[in-house]
Structure 1
Amino acid sequence: MEIAKDKWKKPILELIGNSKEPVGSWYIVNNFKKNGIEVSSATVGRELNELETLGYVEKIGFKGRLITPLGKKIIEDANTTLELDYYKNSLESLLSSHVLENFIMVLEARSAIERQTARLAAERITDEELAELKRCYANQQMHSSDRQSIAKDDIAFHSCIAKASKNKALVSLYMMLSTMGQQSELFEQLRHRVGDNYRTYHLSILEAIEKHNPDQAEESMMDHLQKLTRDVNQYWNEYMRKRKDGDGV
Structure 2
Amino acid sequence: MSDLLLDEKVLMQTGVFSNRMEMLNYLLLKAVYEKNTPVGSWILREEISNYGIDLSTATIGRYLKELDYKGFTLLEGNQGRILTQDGKLLLDEIEDNIANVLMRDKLTLDIKITKYDELIDLLNVRQILETEAARLAAINATDSEIELLRESLEIHRTCVEDNQDPTEPALDFHAMIAEVCHNKFIYALLNVLIFEEKRIESDFETLTTRERGGIYVKEHEKITEKIETRESRQAAYLMQNHIQELIDTIKEQAYED
TM-score, normalised to structure 2's length?
A: 0.76
Q: Does 1:236 align with 2:230?
A: no
Residue by residue, what CA displacement relative to the aligned partner does 1:23-61 show, whole Å, maximum 9, x if unpaired? 44323234467xx666534289469739958x9873535
Relative to structure 1, the CA distance from residue 28 to residue 175 in structure 2 (aligned partners, 3 Å threshold; closer, same or farther) is: same
Correspondence 1:58 to 2:76: no
CA RMSD of aligned residues (A): 3.3
Task: Determine which of 111, 127, 132 is the counterpart of 1:116.
Answer: 132
Per mean C-alpha deviation after superposition, the further-off stretch among 16-25 and 77-86 is 16-25
Question: Cα distance 1:48–1:2, how it changes in 2: closer, same or farther (>3 A)?
Answer: farther
Kindly indicate whether residue 225 of structure 2 is the aligned counterpart of residue 211 of structure 1: no
Match of 2:118 in 1: 102
Where does the alignment leave 5 or more consecutive residues of structure 1 unmatched?
241-249
The structural deviation recorded for 1:138 is: 0.7
Question: Which amino acid is the alignment partner of residue 81 of structure 2?
Answer: G
- The equivalent of 1:78 in structure 2 is 98
Superposition deviation, residue 21 in structure 1:
5.4
Q: In structure 2, what is the equivalent of residue 88 of structure 1?
A: 108
TM-score (norm 1): 0.78
Query: How far has the Cα of 1:157 moved from its partner?
Result: 0.9
Q: Distance in 2 between matches of 1:107 and 1:203?
A: 20
Structure 1 residue identity aligned to 2:93: K
Correspondence 1:197 to 2:234? no
User: Do residues 138 (structure 1) and 154 (structure 2) align?
Assistant: yes
Letter in 1 for 2:228: E
Q: Is the contact made by 1:115 and 1:221 (CA closer than 8 Å) also made in structure 2? A: yes
Distance 2:150 2:57 in 1: 51
Verify the 8 A CA contact 2:32 2:81 in the aligned structure 1.
no
Distance 1:90 1:167 in 2: 23
Contact 1:32 1:39 survives alignment (8 Å) = yes
Kindly provide the CA deviation profile for residues 177-197 of structure 1, in whole angstroms up to 9, marking residues without a partner as x: 111234443598323433511
Residues 111 and 64 of structure 1: CA distance in aligned 2, closer, same or farther (over 3 Å): same
In 1, the alpha carbon distance for the partners of 2:210 and 2:48 equals: 57
Secondary structure of residue in 1 paired with 2:144:
helix
- The verdict on how the C-alpha distance between 1:182 and 1:87 changes in structure 2, with shifts beyond 3 A counting, is closer
Q: How big is the shift at 1:206?
A: 0.5
Q: How many corresponding residue pairs? A: 231
AA paired with 1:42? S
Check the 8 A contact 1:29/1:44 in 2, yes or no: no
Contact kept? 1:9, 1:51, Cα under 8 Å: no
TM-superposition CA deviations, 1:93-140 (whole Å, max 9, x none): 2x3x1x221011001110111111111111100111101000000111
Which of the numbers 31, 53, 56 marks the counterpart of 1:42? Answer: 56
Change (3 A) 1:195 1:31: closer
CA distance in 2, matches of 1:83, 1:47: 34
Partner in structure 2 of residue 128 of structure 1:
144
Q: Which residue of 2 aligns with 1:159?
A: 175
User: Kindly tell me: are residues 187 and 100 of structure 1, through their superposed partners in 2, closer, same or farther at Cα, counting changes over 3 Å?
Assistant: same
Q: Distance in 1 between matches of 2:133 and 2:64?
A: 39
